[in-house]
């Protein structure tokens, strides 16, 4: 594993080659560390990249062309060493490709790139998936799972933070059961576009939003007004999560993909949220994080 750094006059950004994982964003002005620091006793990840599935597969298996394969929750990319194929003053490009070991449980040729671009106080993250095969299709999902320190400063508490959803009065979440998506829904009523953070919010696992409900969300301290804004225009799914009873971080997660339902057939080609790339095609998506 190697660490790569890009910076400007406002932020210092560090990315690990293992998982191409964003591991630190520090403000040069306030010295605030925005990214959760992967305490192994609490949750040992910073901001994993999710590929080739998002969420959990039913029984951790899927079928494709009459064969059965096994993939753990959120896929394998977060636990793989990426190659940094390009580095400039403000940009890092990481790439993961298929290999004999990965092909055992994911029988597709692929090239998966994670591209970080820093501009002022904003970090853009782009995912690019290439299908190098000529005649074979590629099926995948992709998503982000960045964890932000909450609180950001020792003078704050977890409960001093709120989530802000511009132009929203209500949101609909789908409940999870053993990390699988269900049809049970609940309406969340917002107070002036805001949802208070508290220790009971994540007791029943992540808040999962379907149907492109969230294009922008901010996590902000009511005391200091420091926080982050994540923008993910037209991403179909979104998750917000913190490990129950930790009160130390909150994850804001844009997804092109979703966990299986408890009634899923297991057929990868029919999986909810799956993306199909024909031979030689490319898929791109991006989101941005503003730090303040």
Using pLDDT thresholds of 50, 70 and 90, give the confidence band for residue 206. Answer: very high
Whole-angstrom distance, CA of residue 52 vs CA of residue 123: 23
DSSP label of 153: S
Read off the pLDDT of each residue in 82-106 and give the average, rounded to a whole number. 98
Q: What pLDDT does 245 receive? A: 87
168 contact partners, CB below 8 Å, separation of at least 6? 190, 193, 213
Selected residue with higher pLDDT from 35 and 245? 35
CB burial of residue 65 (10 Å; 0-12, 13-18, 19+): exposed
What domains appear along the chain, each with residue ranges and CATH number? Answer: 3-291 (2.70.98.10)
Whole-angstrom distance, CA of residue 258 vs CA of residue 261: 9
Q: Is the overall model pTM greater than 0.95, yes or no?
A: yes
Count of alpha carbons within 13 angstroms of residue 56, beta-carbon side:
15
């Amino acid at each position: 594993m190697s660490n790569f750094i890009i910076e400007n006059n406002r932020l210092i950004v560090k990315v690990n080659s293992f998982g191409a994982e964003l591991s630190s964003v520090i403000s040069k002005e306030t010295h605030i560390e925005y990214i959760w620091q992967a305490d192994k006793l609490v949750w040992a990840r910073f901001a994993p990249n999710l590929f080739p599935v998002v969420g959990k597969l039913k029984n951790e298996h899927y079928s494709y062309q009459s064969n059965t394969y096994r993939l753990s929750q959120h896929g394998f990319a977060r636990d793989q060493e990426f190659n940094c194929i390009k580095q400039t003053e403000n940009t890092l490009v990481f790439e993961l490709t298929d290999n004999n070991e990965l092909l055992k449980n994911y029988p597709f040729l692929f090239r998966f790139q994670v591209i970080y671009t820093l501009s002022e106080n904003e970090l853009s993250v782009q995912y690019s998936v290439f299908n190098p095969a000529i005649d074979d299709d590629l099926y995948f999902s992709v998503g982000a799972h960045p964890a932000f320190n909450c609180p950001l400063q020792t003078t704050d508490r977890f409960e001093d933070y709120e989530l802000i959803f511009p132009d929203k009065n209500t949101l609909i979440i789908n409940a999870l059961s053993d990390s699988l998506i269900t049809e049970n829904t609940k309406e969340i009523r917002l107070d002036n576009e805001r949802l208070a953070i508290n220790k009971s919010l994540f007791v029943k696992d992540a808040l999962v939003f379907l149907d492109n409900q969230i294009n922008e969300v901010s996590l902000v301290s009511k005391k200091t007004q420091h926080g982050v804004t994540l923008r993910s225009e037209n991403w179909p799914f979104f998750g917000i999560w913190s490990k129950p009873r930790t009160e130390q971080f909150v994850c804001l997660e844009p997804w092109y993909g979703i966990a299986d339902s408890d009634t899923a057939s297991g057929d990868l080609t029919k999986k909810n949220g799956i993306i199909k790339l024909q031979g030689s095609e490319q898929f791109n998506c991006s989101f941005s994080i503003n730090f303040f």
